[in-house]
Amino acid sequence: MNQPSVVVCVTDQQSCVRLIHEGSRISVENSLPLYVLSVVPLKVAPRSCGEALEYLFSASREAGAEMTVFYHCDVLSTALSFIHKRNAAHVVLGQGSTADSSFIKGMMEGCGASIHVVDKNGSKTDYPTSARLDYNRGA
């Protein structure tokens, strides 16, 4: 079996660099390899921002990570497949809007790793492997 790892899920936005930094911190802290993943939905692939992805590739390289980009219509299952293949012990996600919550919930239910959610302000919330999201928390 593969060595456990840290997987950072990013979109095609430069602001996702904060997720790579958090993933790098976790990777160093736990002496685990770091992977960065972007799954771009097919419907937005033609207008996907190549400049932002290049920026994230560069940030990934600087963090010692391998970055992979997939273009697929099923973002969640593609991401989960990658996470399982990389034997992720930690997954770093961004939280940008309420629309993201279904992706985060799907990750929590399907990946079997500790989830680390970083919001746009850089605030972090950690969910251990056995935790479930409580959408009423703090409401």
DSSP codes of every residue in 89-116:
EEEEEEE-SGGGHHHHHHHHHHS-SEEE
pLDDT level of residue 10 (50, 70, 90 thresholds) = very high
Distance between CA atoms of residues 131 and 124, nearest Å: 15
pLDDT greater at residue 24 or residue 71: 24
Through-space distance between the first and last CA atoms of the chain, rounded to whole angstroms: 41
| pLDDT over 90 at 16, yes or no | yes
pTM of the model: 0.87
Helix (H) or strand (E) holding 125: strand 124-127
